[in-house]
A and B are shown apart, each in its own frame.
Chain A
Amino acid sequence: MHSVWIIGGLLGLFALWMWDVDWKWITAGGVALLALAFNSIVSARNQAEKAWASIDALLTKRFDLIPNLVDAVARYAEHESEALREVTRLRAAAGSAPASAAAAAALDAQTGQALGRLLATAESYPELKASENFQQLQCALNEVEEQLSAARRTYNAAAQHFNDSLRMVPTAWLARLAGMRERPMYEAPAEHAARPDVGARFRAQSR
Protein backbone atom coordinates (compact mmCIF):
# COMPACT_ATOMS: atom_id res chain seq x y z
CA MET A 1 0.00 0.00 0.00
CA HIS A 2 2.84 2.34 0.86
CA SER A 3 4.35 1.71 -2.56
CA VAL A 4 1.59 3.85 -4.11
CA TRP A 5 2.58 6.80 -1.91
CA ILE A 6 6.29 6.20 -2.52
CA ILE A 7 5.87 6.11 -6.28
CA GLY A 8 3.70 9.22 -5.96
CA GLY A 9 6.51 10.85 -3.96
CA LEU A 10 9.09 9.95 -6.61
CA LEU A 11 6.90 11.48 -9.28
CA GLY A 12 6.56 14.57 -7.07
CA LEU A 13 10.36 14.85 -6.81
CA PHE A 14 10.64 14.50 -10.56
CA ALA A 15 8.12 17.31 -10.98
CA LEU A 16 10.13 19.52 -8.60
CA TRP A 17 13.25 18.84 -10.68
CA MET A 18 11.39 19.74 -13.85
CA TRP A 19 10.34 23.07 -12.28
CA ASP A 20 13.95 23.85 -11.42
CA VAL A 21 13.36 23.81 -7.67
CA ASP A 22 16.48 24.21 -5.56
CA TRP A 23 18.47 20.95 -5.20
CA LYS A 24 18.50 21.14 -1.42
CA TRP A 25 14.70 20.87 -1.35
CA ILE A 26 14.76 17.93 -3.75
CA THR A 27 17.45 16.23 -1.63
CA ALA A 28 15.43 16.82 1.57
CA GLY A 29 12.36 15.37 -0.14
CA GLY A 30 14.36 12.36 -1.32
CA VAL A 31 15.70 11.67 2.19
CA ALA A 32 12.19 11.94 3.64
CA LEU A 33 10.94 9.56 0.98
CA LEU A 34 13.70 7.06 1.74
CA ALA A 35 12.84 7.24 5.45
CA LEU A 36 9.16 6.69 4.65
CA ALA A 37 9.97 3.72 2.43
CA PHE A 38 12.28 2.15 5.00
CA ASN A 39 9.76 2.70 7.82
CA SER A 40 7.03 1.09 5.75
CA ILE A 41 9.12 -2.10 5.38
CA VAL A 42 9.96 -2.13 9.09
CA SER A 43 6.29 -1.62 9.91
CA ALA A 44 5.31 -4.53 7.62
CA ARG A 45 7.96 -6.73 9.24
CA ASN A 46 6.70 -5.79 12.73
CA GLN A 47 3.13 -6.59 11.73
CA ALA A 48 4.22 -10.04 10.57
CA GLU A 49 6.15 -10.60 13.81
CA LYS A 50 3.18 -9.49 15.88
CA ALA A 51 0.91 -11.88 13.97
CA TRP A 52 3.43 -14.68 14.47
CA ALA A 53 3.44 -13.96 18.21
CA SER A 54 -0.37 -14.27 18.21
CA ILE A 55 -0.14 -17.73 16.63
CA ASP A 56 2.43 -18.69 19.22
CA ALA A 57 0.24 -17.44 22.09
CA LEU A 58 -2.81 -19.26 20.76
CA LEU A 59 -0.90 -22.51 20.24
CA THR A 60 0.19 -22.25 23.87
CA LYS A 61 -3.41 -21.58 24.89
CA ARG A 62 -4.50 -24.68 23.00
CA PHE A 63 -1.76 -26.78 24.57
CA ASP A 64 -2.82 -25.49 28.00
CA LEU A 65 -6.28 -26.93 27.41
CA ILE A 66 -4.90 -30.38 26.65
CA PRO A 67 -4.23 -31.60 30.24
CA ASN A 68 -7.81 -30.78 31.26
CA LEU A 69 -9.19 -32.41 28.14
CA VAL A 70 -7.07 -35.52 28.67
CA ASP A 71 -8.25 -35.73 32.30
CA ALA A 72 -11.90 -35.39 31.27
CA VAL A 73 -11.63 -38.06 28.57
CA ALA A 74 -9.49 -40.44 30.67
CA ARG A 75 -12.15 -40.44 33.38
CA TYR A 76 -14.70 -41.99 31.02
CA ALA A 77 -12.68 -43.53 28.22
CA GLU A 78 -9.66 -45.29 29.71
CA HIS A 79 -9.43 -47.66 26.77
CA GLU A 80 -8.79 -44.89 24.28
CA SER A 81 -5.17 -44.82 25.35
CA GLU A 82 -3.77 -44.39 21.82
CA ALA A 83 -5.48 -41.03 21.20
CA LEU A 84 -4.67 -39.89 24.74
CA ARG A 85 -1.01 -40.88 24.42
CA GLU A 86 -0.69 -39.08 21.10
CA VAL A 87 -2.14 -35.83 22.46
CA THR A 88 0.01 -36.03 25.60
CA ARG A 89 3.13 -36.65 23.49
CA LEU A 90 2.41 -33.62 21.32
CA ARG A 91 1.77 -31.51 24.41
CA ALA A 92 5.21 -32.47 25.69
CA ALA A 93 6.78 -31.76 22.27
CA ALA A 94 5.31 -28.26 22.38
CA GLY A 95 7.50 -27.50 25.43
CA SER A 96 10.47 -26.82 23.15
CA ALA A 97 9.94 -23.99 20.66
CA PRO A 98 9.73 -25.22 17.04
CA ALA A 99 12.86 -24.54 14.98
CA SER A 100 10.97 -23.03 12.02
CA ALA A 101 7.58 -21.90 10.80
CA ALA A 102 7.24 -25.17 8.89
CA ALA A 103 7.95 -27.18 12.07
CA ALA A 104 5.42 -25.08 14.00
CA ALA A 105 2.82 -25.60 11.26
CA ALA A 106 3.48 -29.35 11.28
CA LEU A 107 3.13 -29.55 15.07
CA ASP A 108 0.00 -27.41 14.86
CA ALA A 109 -1.53 -29.69 12.22
CA GLN A 110 -0.59 -32.89 14.09
CA THR A 111 -2.10 -31.54 17.31
CA GLY A 112 -5.29 -30.55 15.51
CA GLN A 113 -5.56 -34.06 14.08
CA ALA A 114 -4.86 -35.74 17.40
CA LEU A 115 -7.42 -33.54 19.18
CA GLY A 116 -9.95 -34.40 16.49
CA ARG A 117 -9.37 -38.10 17.14
CA LEU A 118 -9.64 -37.57 20.88
CA LEU A 119 -12.94 -35.71 20.52
CA ALA A 120 -14.19 -38.47 18.25
CA THR A 121 -13.91 -40.85 21.21
CA ALA A 122 -16.77 -38.95 22.86
CA GLU A 123 -19.07 -40.48 20.24
CA SER A 124 -18.70 -43.86 21.94
CA TYR A 125 -19.14 -42.54 25.49
CA PRO A 126 -22.52 -40.88 26.08
CA GLU A 127 -21.64 -40.01 29.68
CA LEU A 128 -18.50 -38.22 28.54
CA LYS A 129 -20.47 -36.43 25.85
CA ALA A 130 -23.02 -35.28 28.42
CA SER A 131 -20.42 -34.17 30.96
CA GLU A 132 -20.63 -30.41 31.52
CA ASN A 133 -16.88 -30.15 32.03
CA PHE A 134 -16.23 -31.88 28.71
CA GLN A 135 -18.71 -29.66 26.90
CA GLN A 136 -17.08 -26.52 28.33
CA LEU A 137 -13.68 -27.79 27.24
CA GLN A 138 -15.00 -28.45 23.76
CA CYS A 139 -16.37 -24.90 23.57
CA ALA A 140 -13.05 -23.48 24.75
CA LEU A 141 -11.15 -25.66 22.29
CA ASN A 142 -13.44 -24.69 19.48
CA GLU A 143 -12.90 -21.03 20.26
CA VAL A 144 -9.13 -21.45 20.29
CA GLU A 145 -9.30 -23.33 16.97
CA GLU A 146 -11.23 -20.42 15.40
CA GLN A 147 -8.85 -17.88 16.90
CA LEU A 148 -5.91 -19.91 15.62
CA SER A 149 -7.41 -20.00 12.17
CA ALA A 150 -7.83 -16.21 12.30
CA ALA A 151 -4.24 -15.80 13.56
CA ARG A 152 -2.90 -17.95 10.69
CA ARG A 153 -4.81 -15.84 8.18
CA THR A 154 -3.59 -12.63 9.84
CA TYR A 155 -0.01 -13.86 9.79
CA ASN A 156 -0.21 -14.91 6.16
CA ALA A 157 -1.70 -11.54 5.16
CA ALA A 158 1.03 -9.69 7.10
CA ALA A 159 3.79 -11.95 5.71
CA GLN A 160 2.43 -11.49 2.19
CA HIS A 161 2.43 -7.72 2.65
CA PHE A 162 6.01 -7.77 3.98
CA ASN A 163 7.21 -10.09 1.20
CA ASP A 164 5.53 -7.88 -1.40
CA SER A 165 7.46 -4.87 -0.16
CA LEU A 166 10.66 -6.95 -0.46
CA ARG A 167 9.86 -7.69 -4.09
CA MET A 168 8.68 -4.25 -5.20
CA VAL A 169 10.82 -1.37 -6.31
CA PRO A 170 11.95 0.88 -4.60
CA THR A 171 11.43 -0.82 -1.20
CA ALA A 172 13.16 -3.99 -2.46
CA TRP A 173 16.49 -2.07 -2.82
CA LEU A 174 16.30 -0.75 0.75
CA ALA A 175 15.37 -4.17 2.14
CA ARG A 176 18.34 -5.72 0.34
CA LEU A 177 20.66 -3.11 1.85
CA ALA A 178 19.21 -3.79 5.32
CA GLY A 179 19.66 -7.55 4.82
CA MET A 180 15.96 -8.35 5.27
CA ARG A 181 14.66 -11.70 4.10
CA GLU A 182 11.22 -12.91 3.07
CA ARG A 183 9.09 -14.54 5.75
CA PRO A 184 7.70 -18.01 5.09
CA MET A 185 3.95 -18.42 4.79
CA TYR A 186 2.22 -20.47 7.45
CA GLU A 187 0.98 -23.50 5.58
CA ALA A 188 0.05 -26.92 6.83
CA PRO A 189 2.17 -29.63 5.15
CA ALA A 190 0.35 -31.60 2.45
CA GLU A 191 -0.04 -34.74 4.54
CA HIS A 192 -1.93 -32.73 7.18
CA ALA A 193 -4.07 -30.78 4.75
CA ALA A 194 -7.13 -32.91 5.43
CA ARG A 195 -7.13 -32.06 9.12
CA PRO A 196 -10.41 -32.82 10.88
CA ASP A 197 -12.60 -29.84 11.61
CA VAL A 198 -13.09 -29.79 15.38
CA GLY A 199 -15.97 -27.33 15.08
CA ALA A 200 -17.84 -29.50 12.59
CA ARG A 201 -17.32 -32.54 14.81
CA PHE A 202 -18.66 -30.68 17.82
CA ARG A 203 -21.67 -29.39 15.89
CA ALA A 204 -22.44 -32.95 14.84
CA GLN A 205 -22.17 -34.09 18.45
CA SER A 206 -24.36 -31.28 19.72
CA ARG A 207 -27.28 -32.22 17.47
Chain B
Amino acid sequence: MRSEEELRGFFAGELREHVEAWRRLPRIRPPNGIDLVALGVAVLFAFATQRSEALWLGAGYLVLRVMYDIRRVQSAFKQEVLSRVFEFALPGVQYQPHSHIGAEHVRRSGLFRESWNDDSGEDYVAGRHGSTDFWFSELTLAKEKKDQRSVVFQGLFFIADFHKSFRGRTYLLPDVAERAFGALGRAAQALRIDGTELVELEDPDFEKRFVCSSTDPLEARYLLSTSMLQRILRIAERSRGALRVSFVDECLYLALPSGDLFQAPFLGGSLDEAALLGFVRELRSVLGLVEELGLNTRIWSKPAPAEARPIR
Protein backbone atom coordinates (compact mmCIF):
# COMPACT_ATOMS: atom_id res chain seq x y z
CA MET B 1 0.00 0.00 0.00
CA ARG B 2 1.39 3.43 -0.98
CA SER B 3 2.16 6.08 1.61
CA GLU B 4 0.08 9.26 2.00
CA GLU B 5 2.95 11.29 0.57
CA GLU B 6 2.98 9.23 -2.62
CA LEU B 7 -0.81 9.46 -2.82
CA ARG B 8 -0.72 13.26 -2.48
CA GLY B 9 1.81 13.42 -5.31
CA PHE B 10 -0.43 11.22 -7.44
CA PHE B 11 -3.53 13.35 -6.72
CA ALA B 12 -1.67 16.53 -7.66
CA GLY B 13 -0.19 15.00 -10.82
CA GLU B 14 -1.59 12.13 -12.82
CA LEU B 15 -5.07 12.09 -11.28
CA ARG B 16 -5.68 15.81 -11.64
CA GLU B 17 -6.93 15.72 -15.24
CA HIS B 18 -9.38 12.90 -14.44
CA VAL B 19 -10.75 14.78 -11.44
CA GLU B 20 -11.13 17.91 -13.58
CA ALA B 21 -12.88 15.94 -16.34
CA TRP B 22 -15.29 14.58 -13.72
CA ARG B 23 -15.86 18.07 -12.29
CA ARG B 24 -16.77 19.33 -15.77
CA LEU B 25 -19.54 16.76 -16.12
CA PRO B 26 -22.95 18.48 -16.15
CA ARG B 27 -24.60 17.80 -12.80
CA ILE B 28 -28.30 18.14 -13.67
CA ARG B 29 -28.69 18.03 -17.43
CA PRO B 30 -31.05 20.56 -19.10
CA PRO B 31 -34.39 19.04 -20.10
CA ASN B 32 -34.36 17.22 -23.42
CA GLY B 33 -37.19 16.54 -25.85
CA ILE B 34 -38.47 13.48 -24.00
CA ASP B 35 -38.59 15.41 -20.71
CA LEU B 36 -40.53 18.28 -22.30
CA VAL B 37 -42.99 15.92 -23.96
CA ALA B 38 -43.50 13.97 -20.70
CA LEU B 39 -44.06 17.12 -18.65
CA GLY B 40 -46.23 18.69 -21.40
CA VAL B 41 -48.46 15.59 -21.50
CA ALA B 42 -48.77 15.66 -17.68
CA VAL B 43 -49.80 19.35 -17.65
CA LEU B 44 -52.22 18.98 -20.55
CA PHE B 45 -53.77 15.90 -19.00
CA ALA B 46 -54.18 17.76 -15.69
CA PHE B 47 -55.94 20.69 -17.41
CA ALA B 48 -58.07 18.49 -19.59
CA THR B 49 -59.27 16.23 -16.80
CA GLN B 50 -59.15 18.81 -14.00
CA ARG B 51 -57.31 16.23 -11.89
CA SER B 52 -54.16 17.06 -9.95
CA GLU B 53 -52.81 13.45 -9.98
CA ALA B 54 -51.32 14.02 -13.41
CA LEU B 55 -49.25 16.90 -12.01
CA TRP B 56 -47.99 14.62 -9.25
CA LEU B 57 -46.94 12.10 -11.88
CA GLY B 58 -45.01 14.87 -13.65
CA ALA B 59 -43.31 15.85 -10.38
CA GLY B 60 -42.43 12.20 -9.75
CA TYR B 61 -40.88 12.04 -13.21
CA LEU B 62 -38.71 15.07 -12.38
CA VAL B 63 -37.54 13.52 -9.09
CA LEU B 64 -36.60 10.28 -10.84
CA ARG B 65 -34.71 12.23 -13.47
CA VAL B 66 -32.70 14.12 -10.83
CA MET B 67 -31.94 10.87 -9.00
CA TYR B 68 -30.75 9.34 -12.26
CA ASP B 69 -28.41 12.30 -12.80
CA ILE B 70 -26.98 12.01 -9.29
CA ARG B 71 -26.38 8.31 -9.86
CA ARG B 72 -24.75 9.02 -13.25
CA VAL B 73 -22.31 11.53 -11.76
CA GLN B 74 -21.45 9.29 -8.81
CA SER B 75 -20.97 6.33 -11.11
CA ALA B 76 -18.63 8.36 -13.32
CA PHE B 77 -16.62 9.30 -10.23
CA LYS B 78 -16.14 5.68 -9.22
CA GLN B 79 -15.34 4.59 -12.75
CA GLU B 80 -12.99 7.41 -13.75
CA VAL B 81 -11.46 8.60 -10.49
CA LEU B 82 -11.80 6.07 -7.69
CA SER B 83 -10.66 3.09 -9.76
CA ARG B 84 -7.45 5.02 -10.60
CA VAL B 85 -6.93 5.97 -6.97
CA PHE B 86 -7.23 2.34 -5.85
CA GLU B 87 -5.03 1.08 -8.67
CA PHE B 88 -2.32 3.51 -7.60
CA ALA B 89 -2.76 2.90 -3.86
CA LEU B 90 -2.55 -0.86 -4.21
CA PRO B 91 -1.06 -1.84 -7.60
CA GLY B 92 -2.80 -4.80 -9.21
CA VAL B 93 -6.07 -4.20 -7.42
CA GLN B 94 -9.23 -4.68 -9.42
CA TYR B 95 -12.13 -2.33 -8.69
CA GLN B 96 -15.54 -2.78 -10.28
CA PRO B 97 -17.99 -0.22 -8.88
CA HIS B 98 -21.10 -1.94 -10.24
CA SER B 99 -20.23 -5.54 -9.39
CA HIS B 100 -20.48 -7.50 -6.19
CA ILE B 101 -19.48 -10.89 -4.81
CA GLY B 102 -21.57 -13.47 -6.64
CA ALA B 103 -24.41 -15.43 -5.06
CA GLU B 104 -22.57 -18.75 -5.59
CA HIS B 105 -19.73 -17.58 -3.32
CA VAL B 106 -22.18 -16.36 -0.70
CA ARG B 107 -23.91 -19.74 -0.75
CA ARG B 108 -20.60 -21.58 -0.62
CA SER B 109 -19.62 -19.61 2.48
CA GLY B 110 -22.57 -21.11 4.38
CA LEU B 111 -22.80 -17.93 6.44
CA PHE B 112 -26.52 -17.39 6.00
CA ARG B 113 -28.87 -20.10 7.17
CA GLU B 114 -31.83 -17.80 6.63
CA SER B 115 -33.34 -18.14 3.17
CA TRP B 116 -32.76 -15.33 0.69
CA ASN B 117 -33.55 -14.99 -2.99
CA ASP B 118 -32.25 -11.57 -3.94
CA ASP B 119 -28.67 -10.38 -3.88
CA SER B 120 -27.41 -6.96 -4.84
CA GLY B 121 -24.39 -4.84 -4.11
CA GLU B 122 -21.58 -2.74 -5.48
CA ASP B 123 -17.93 -1.79 -5.03
CA TYR B 124 -16.29 -5.11 -5.81
CA VAL B 125 -12.58 -5.02 -4.98
CA ALA B 126 -10.14 -7.87 -5.58
CA GLY B 127 -6.38 -8.07 -5.30
CA ARG B 128 -3.52 -9.06 -3.10
CA HIS B 129 -2.43 -7.46 0.14
CA GLY B 130 0.97 -8.69 1.27
CA SER B 131 0.85 -12.45 0.64
CA THR B 132 -2.92 -12.71 0.85
CA ASP B 133 -5.42 -12.69 -1.98
CA PHE B 134 -8.68 -10.98 -1.09
CA TRP B 135 -12.07 -10.21 -2.61
CA PHE B 136 -14.76 -8.05 -1.09
CA SER B 137 -17.81 -5.97 -1.91
CA GLU B 138 -20.83 -4.36 -0.42
CA LEU B 139 -23.62 -6.88 -0.37
CA THR B 140 -27.31 -6.89 0.39
CA LEU B 141 -29.20 -10.15 0.73
CA ALA B 142 -32.95 -10.05 0.93
CA LYS B 143 -35.92 -12.31 0.87
CA GLU B 144 -38.66 -11.21 -1.46
CA LYS B 145 -42.06 -12.76 -1.08
CA LYS B 146 -45.05 -11.29 -2.91
CA ASP B 147 -45.02 -7.61 -1.91
CA GLN B 148 -42.76 -8.04 1.10
CA ARG B 149 -39.02 -7.63 1.16
CA SER B 150 -37.01 -8.40 4.27
CA VAL B 151 -33.27 -7.73 4.39
CA VAL B 152 -31.23 -10.68 5.66
CA PHE B 153 -27.84 -9.00 5.48
CA GLN B 154 -26.42 -5.65 4.48
CA GLY B 155 -22.76 -4.83 4.76
CA LEU B 156 -19.29 -5.93 3.80
CA PHE B 157 -18.75 -9.42 2.43
CA PHE B 158 -15.07 -10.25 2.58
CA ILE B 159 -13.18 -13.30 1.32
CA ALA B 160 -9.47 -13.96 1.85
CA ASP B 161 -7.14 -16.80 1.06
CA PHE B 162 -6.47 -18.43 4.45
CA HIS B 163 -2.86 -18.97 5.44
CA LYS B 164 -3.28 -22.55 6.65
CA SER B 165 -4.36 -25.57 4.64
CA PHE B 166 -7.60 -27.22 5.64
CA ARG B 167 -10.16 -29.56 4.15
CA GLY B 168 -13.31 -29.29 6.25
CA ARG B 169 -15.87 -26.57 6.82
CA THR B 170 -16.01 -24.47 9.97
CA TYR B 171 -18.63 -21.85 10.77
CA LEU B 172 -18.84 -19.11 13.39
CA LEU B 173 -22.38 -17.81 13.52
CA PRO B 174 -24.17 -15.53 15.98
CA ASP B 175 -25.20 -17.47 19.07
CA VAL B 176 -28.88 -16.64 19.00
CA ALA B 177 -30.35 -19.84 20.49
CA GLU B 178 -28.18 -19.92 23.62
CA ARG B 179 -28.73 -16.24 24.30
CA ALA B 180 -32.47 -16.64 24.04
CA PHE B 181 -33.01 -20.05 25.65
CA GLY B 182 -29.85 -20.74 27.72
CA ALA B 183 -28.90 -24.40 28.25
CA LEU B 184 -31.93 -25.61 26.30
CA GLY B 185 -30.89 -23.49 23.32
CA ARG B 186 -27.40 -24.91 23.54
CA ALA B 187 -28.75 -28.44 23.68
CA ALA B 188 -30.86 -27.71 20.61
CA GLN B 189 -27.80 -26.34 18.80
CA ALA B 190 -26.07 -29.68 19.29
CA LEU B 191 -28.73 -31.34 17.11
CA ARG B 192 -27.29 -30.60 13.70
CA ILE B 193 -28.53 -31.55 10.26
CA ASP B 194 -25.80 -29.95 8.13
CA GLY B 195 -23.14 -32.61 8.72
CA THR B 196 -21.24 -30.50 11.23
CA GLU B 197 -20.58 -30.94 14.94
CA LEU B 198 -20.88 -28.31 17.61
CA VAL B 199 -17.43 -27.21 18.78
CA GLU B 200 -17.11 -25.75 22.27
CA LEU B 201 -14.22 -23.32 22.40
CA GLU B 202 -12.35 -22.34 25.55
CA ASP B 203 -12.91 -18.60 25.48
CA PRO B 204 -16.13 -17.80 27.40
CA ASP B 205 -16.48 -14.35 25.81
CA PHE B 206 -16.18 -15.92 22.38
CA GLU B 207 -18.70 -18.61 23.29
CA LYS B 208 -21.18 -15.96 24.39
CA ARG B 209 -21.04 -14.31 21.00
CA PHE B 210 -20.60 -17.18 18.55
CA VAL B 211 -21.70 -20.72 18.02
CA CYS B 212 -18.96 -22.70 16.33
CA SER B 213 -19.70 -25.77 14.24
CA SER B 214 -17.40 -27.77 12.03
CA THR B 215 -17.13 -30.94 9.99
CA ASP B 216 -13.88 -31.58 11.88
CA PRO B 217 -13.59 -30.25 15.46
CA LEU B 218 -9.84 -30.82 15.57
CA GLU B 219 -9.35 -28.84 12.38
CA ALA B 220 -11.65 -26.12 13.75
CA ARG B 221 -9.31 -25.68 16.72
CA TYR B 222 -6.33 -25.70 14.34
CA LEU B 223 -7.89 -22.82 12.41
CA LEU B 224 -9.18 -21.06 15.52
CA SER B 225 -6.04 -20.84 17.60
CA THR B 226 -6.44 -18.92 20.86
CA SER B 227 -4.91 -15.82 19.26
CA MET B 228 -7.28 -16.12 16.28
CA LEU B 229 -10.23 -16.25 18.69
CA GLN B 230 -9.05 -12.99 20.24
CA ARG B 231 -8.65 -11.36 16.84
CA ILE B 232 -12.11 -12.37 15.66
CA LEU B 233 -13.58 -11.23 18.98
CA ARG B 234 -11.96 -7.80 18.56
CA ILE B 235 -13.52 -7.41 15.11
CA ALA B 236 -16.90 -8.60 16.44
CA GLU B 237 -16.79 -6.04 19.26
CA ARG B 238 -16.28 -3.22 16.75
CA SER B 239 -18.95 -4.49 14.40
CA ARG B 240 -22.29 -2.69 14.32
CA GLY B 241 -24.13 -5.99 13.93
CA ALA B 242 -23.58 -9.71 14.27
CA LEU B 243 -20.32 -10.80 12.64
CA ARG B 244 -20.30 -14.13 10.78
CA VAL B 245 -17.16 -16.02 9.80
CA SER B 246 -16.58 -19.28 7.97
CA PHE B 247 -13.64 -21.31 6.77
CA VAL B 248 -14.44 -23.11 3.54
CA ASP B 249 -12.30 -24.27 0.59
CA GLU B 250 -9.08 -22.84 2.02
CA CYS B 251 -10.67 -19.39 2.27
CA LEU B 252 -11.91 -17.27 5.11
CA TYR B 253 -15.35 -15.74 4.55
CA LEU B 254 -16.49 -12.85 6.67
CA ALA B 255 -19.79 -10.98 6.68
CA LEU B 256 -19.61 -7.70 8.57
CA PRO B 257 -22.73 -5.54 8.81
CA SER B 258 -21.86 -1.99 7.77
CA GLY B 259 -23.09 1.07 5.94
CA ASP B 260 -22.02 2.28 2.50
CA LEU B 261 -18.37 1.49 1.80
CA PHE B 262 -17.33 4.13 -0.68
CA GLN B 263 -19.83 6.99 -0.82
CA ALA B 264 -19.18 8.86 -4.04
CA PRO B 265 -19.54 12.68 -4.01
CA PHE B 266 -21.96 14.51 -6.29
CA LEU B 267 -20.76 18.11 -6.27
CA GLY B 268 -17.34 18.77 -7.78
CA GLY B 269 -16.43 21.24 -5.04
CA SER B 270 -16.72 18.59 -2.32
CA LEU B 271 -13.94 16.51 -3.81
CA ASP B 272 -10.56 17.54 -2.43
CA GLU B 273 -7.36 15.79 -1.38
CA ALA B 274 -8.74 14.95 2.06
CA ALA B 275 -11.81 13.33 0.53
CA LEU B 276 -9.65 11.25 -1.83
CA LEU B 277 -7.40 10.20 1.06
CA GLY B 278 -10.57 9.23 2.93
CA PHE B 279 -11.39 6.64 0.23
CA VAL B 280 -7.91 5.13 0.53
CA ARG B 281 -8.24 5.04 4.31
CA GLU B 282 -11.52 3.20 3.92
CA LEU B 283 -9.85 0.68 1.61
CA ARG B 284 -6.99 0.39 4.08
CA SER B 285 -9.38 -0.21 6.96
CA VAL B 286 -11.00 -3.13 5.09
CA LEU B 287 -7.59 -4.55 4.21
CA GLY B 288 -6.67 -4.08 7.86
CA LEU B 289 -8.75 -7.23 8.37
CA VAL B 290 -5.97 -9.19 6.61
CA GLU B 291 -3.40 -7.85 9.07
CA GLU B 292 -5.66 -8.05 12.07
CA LEU B 293 -6.39 -11.69 11.36
CA GLY B 294 -2.69 -12.35 10.81
CA LEU B 295 -3.28 -13.75 7.32
CA ASN B 296 0.03 -12.44 6.02
CA THR B 297 1.93 -14.65 8.46
CA ARG B 298 2.99 -17.46 6.17
CA ILE B 299 4.92 -19.77 8.45
CA TRP B 300 3.00 -22.93 7.67
CA SER B 301 3.39 -25.39 4.83
CA LYS B 302 0.77 -23.68 2.68
CA PRO B 303 2.65 -21.42 0.26
CA ALA B 304 1.36 -18.01 -0.80
CA PRO B 305 -0.15 -18.28 -4.32
CA ALA B 306 2.31 -17.27 -7.04
CA GLU B 307 0.01 -14.61 -8.41
CA ALA B 308 -3.33 -13.08 -7.52
CA ARG B 309 -6.05 -15.28 -8.94
CA PRO B 310 -9.63 -14.51 -9.82
CA ILE B 311 -12.16 -15.66 -7.29
CA ARG B 312 -12.98 -19.29 -7.68
Q: How far is the CA of A87 from the CA of B300 in the complex (A)?
A: 22
Residue on B nearest A160 in the bound complex, by CB = B200
The distance in angstroms between the C-alpha atoms of A139 and B299, with both chains bound, is: 5
Closest to A142 in B: B299
- Most chain-B Cβ atoms within 10 A of its Cβ — which of A142, A157, A202? A157
A88 within 8 A of B: no
Give Cα A144 to B245, complex, Å: 24
Cβ A51 vs Cβ B218 within 8 A:
yes
B225's partner among A1, A146, A206 (CB-CB below 8 A) is A146
Nearest chain-A residue to B190 (Cβ)? A1
Best-buried of A140, A153, A202, A203 by chain B (most CB within 10 Å): A153
Please, how many angstroms separate the alpha-carbon atoms of A199 and B222 in the complex? Answer: 14
Which of chain A's residues have a CB closer than 8 A to the CB of B231? none
Contact A4 B300 (CB under 8 A): no
Q: Which residues of A contact B199 (CB under 8 A)?
A: 157
Task: Please tell me which one of the listed residues B183, B198, B299 contacts residue A203 in the complex, with CB atoms under 8 A apart.
Answer: B299
Say whether B218 contacts A154, CB under 8 Å: yes
Contact indicator B184/A4 (Cβ below 8 Å): yes
User: For chain B residues 184-225, which have a beta carbon within 8 Å of chain A?
Assistant: 184, 186-187, 190, 198-200, 202, 217-222, 225
Minimum CB distance partner of A198 in chain B: B299
What mask results when residues 170 to 207 of chain A are scored 1 for a CB within 8 Å of chain B, else 0? 00000000000000000000000000000100110010
B297 proximal to A (CB < 8 A): yes
**CB neighbours of A154 from chain B (8 A):** 217-218, 221
Q: Are B222 and A150 within 8 A (Cβ)?
A: yes
CA–CA, A106 and B76, complex, Å? 66
Q: Is the CB–CB distance between B202 and A206 below 8 Å? A: no
How far apart are B225's CB and chain A's nearest CB, in angstroms?
6
CA distance A51 to B197 in the complex (A): 14
Given A1-B190, A146-B225, verify A202-B299 contact (CB < 8 Å). yes
For A149, the chain B residues whose CB sits under 8 A away are 221, 225
Number of interface residues of A (CB under 8 A): 24
A160, B68: Cα distance in complex, Å: 62
Whether a CB of chain A sits under 8 angstroms from the CB of B301 is: yes
A-B CB pair tally, cutoff 8 Å: 53
**Residue numbers in A under 8 Å from B221 (CB-CB):** 149-151, 153-154
Determine whether the beta carbon of B222 is less than 8 Å from that of A139.
no
Q: Are A146 and B200 in contact (CB under 8 A)?
A: no
Cα distance A49–B245 in the bound complex, in angstroms: 30
Enumerate chain A residues within 8 angstroms of B225, measured Cβ to Cβ. Answer: 146, 149-150
Asked if A146 and B187 sit within 8 Å, CB to CB, the answer is no
**Is B284 located at the chain interface by the 8 A CB criterion?**
no
Q: Does A143 contact B (CB under 8 A)?
A: yes
Whether a CB of chain B sits under 8 angstroms from the CB of A5 is yes
Decide if B164 is an interface residue (CB 8 Å cutoff). Answer: yes
Contact assessment for A150 and B300 in the assembled complex, using a CB-CB cutoff below 8 Å = no
- Cβ contacts B269-312/A at 8 Å (1 or 0 each): 00000000000000000000000000001011100000000000
Report yes or no: B217 in contact with A140, Cβ–Cβ below 8 A: no
Q: How many angstroms between the C-alpha atoms of A153 and B198 in the bound complex?
A: 15
| Given known contacts A146-B222, A146-B225, A203 and B300 CB-to-CB distance under 8 angstroms | no
Q: Which residue of B lies closest to A161 (CB)?
A: B200
Q: In the complex the two chains form, is A153's CB within 8 Å of B202's CB?
A: yes
Within the assembled complex, what's the spacing in Å between the Cα atoms of A206 and B297? 10
Bound complex: CA of A17 vs CA of B186, how far in Å? Answer: 28
Q: With the chains together, A51 CA to B190 CA distance in Å?
A: 19
> Given the complex of chains A and B, what is the CA–CA distance between A138 and B301 in angstroms?
9
User: How many angstroms between the C-alpha atoms of A203 and B219 in the bound complex?
Assistant: 22
Pairs A-B, 5 closest by C-beta atoms: A150-B221, A150-B222, A4-B187, A143-B300, A154-B218
Q: List 17 A-B contacts (CB under 8 A).
A: A1-B186, A4-B184, A4-B186, A51-B218, A54-B218, A138-B299, A142-B299, A143-B300, A146-B225, A149-B225, A154-B217, A154-B221, A157-B199, A157-B217, A161-B200, A203-B297, A206-B299
